[in-house]
Structure 1
Amino acid sequence: MAKFGKKKKGLPPVSTASLPDIVFMLLFFFMVTTTMRETDLKIDSPRLPSASEVKKLEHKSLVTTIYVGKAKETGKYGTGFNRIQLNDKIGTPDQIPAFIENARSKVSETEVPFMTTSIKADKESNVGTLADIRLKLRDVNALKLSLSTQKGDAIKK
């Protein structure tokens, strides 16, 4: 009688045929879900004041942001913490009504009452500048206002 030896079989190699499909699915997912920054900041990133009770804004597409702070290019825009940025330009409080009307024209008529104006102001900003912004927003009936803060202890001891 002859002996038949058993051949040891190793594990079969892992199939990489589906690897390109997985890579393209991930690429497509990140391309669809990534949002690009709409505005290029001409002011230094505002150091937001602290607040103990914060609430996150919903419906980011209905939020219009006004930045207040110190200009990056002080020679071009001047010094001080009271520079206002509307979209990609440094502006004045008198330009705010046109800025809000432009933002309203980009959304449907039914969504206009749900629009919010967010002010991201540096904690060193002039209160007079913020009051001027509020008055101009009141002139165009943009009464939903949000002041951006960072979460933290509001009262420092």
Structure 2
Amino acid sequence: MSKFKKKKKGMPAVNTASLPDIVFMLLFFFMVTTTMRETTLKIEAPRLPSATEVKKLEHKSLVITIYVGKSKDPNRDGVGYNKIQLNDKIASADQVPAFIMASREKVSEAEIPFMTTSIKADKESNVGTINDIRLKLRDVNALKVSYSTQKGAE
């Protein structure tokens, strides 16, 4: 018979001391990396046309987005698919140059040549409205234009 009795060892308890640190690190990570939508759409979400050759825009901070589509509030903005949204307001094609110039003031002089104007137009939008926007972009020398589409042949 042994002098010392052996104790039965069970599973040790899980150490949860570092758990709050891990939770706060994850929370901080998601707070830093998540971007919030900068504009509230006043037009219905555009149903983008489909295309077979699609290329992603690289520098999202240098992209100016112009939305074209049908207004969510036809009583206020009128009926039709020819509404243009610049930032958070419905505008006309004549207001596009001032919008581009204001966007250029927010970036450094060296980044202006790399700025791209993205037009997100609904399938049902009038081509004349998009052409009016293109002409106004040409007036302010904003010649890098991207037309947003969805991938896939229709």
Q: Does TM-score exceed 0.5, indicating one fold?
A: yes
Find the residue that maps to 1:64 and give its secondary structure.
strand
Output one character per residue of 1:104-153: Cα deviation in whole Å (capped at 9) or x when no partner.
00000000000000000000000000000000000000000000000011
Q: Which residue of 2 aligns with 1:138?
A: 138
Give the Cα–Cα distance (whole angstroms) in 1 for the partners of residues 5 and 20 of structure 2. 40
**Residue identity opposite 1:131 in structure 2:** N
Give the CA deviation at 1:5.
3.7
Give the CA deviation at 1:6.
2.2
Output one character per residue of 1:37-81: Cα deviation in whole Å (capped at 9) or x when no partner.
100000000000000110000110000000000000000000110
Identity between Structure 1 and Structure 2 (%): 77
Give the Cα–Cα distance (whole angstroms) in 1 for the partners of residues 68 and 2 of structure 2. 92
Q: Which residue of 1 aligns with 2:43?
A: 43
Output one character per residue of 1:2-49: Cα deviation in whole Å (capped at 9) or x when no partner.
564422111110110000100110011011001011000000000000
Map 1:37-76; keep pairs closer than 5 Å.
Answer: 37-76=37-76
Cα-Cα RMSD: 1.0
Give the Cα–Cα distance (whole angstroms) in 2 for the partners of residues 3 and 103 of structure 1. 85
Unaligned runs of 5+ in 1: none
Give the Cα–Cα distance (whole angstroms) in 1 for the partners of residues 78 and 90 of structure 2. 11
Q: Is 2:82 aligned against 1:82? A: yes
Find the residue that maps to 1:56 and give its secondary structure.
coil
**Residue identity opposite 1:7 in structure 2:** K
In the comparison of the two structures, how many residue pairs are matched? Answer: 154
Give the Cα–Cα distance (whole angstroms) in 1 for the partners of residues 110 and 6 of structure 2. 77
Q: Scaled by the length of structure 2, what TM-score is found?
A: 0.97
**Residue identity opposite 2:36 in structure 1:** M
**Residue identity opposite 1:38 in structure 2:** E
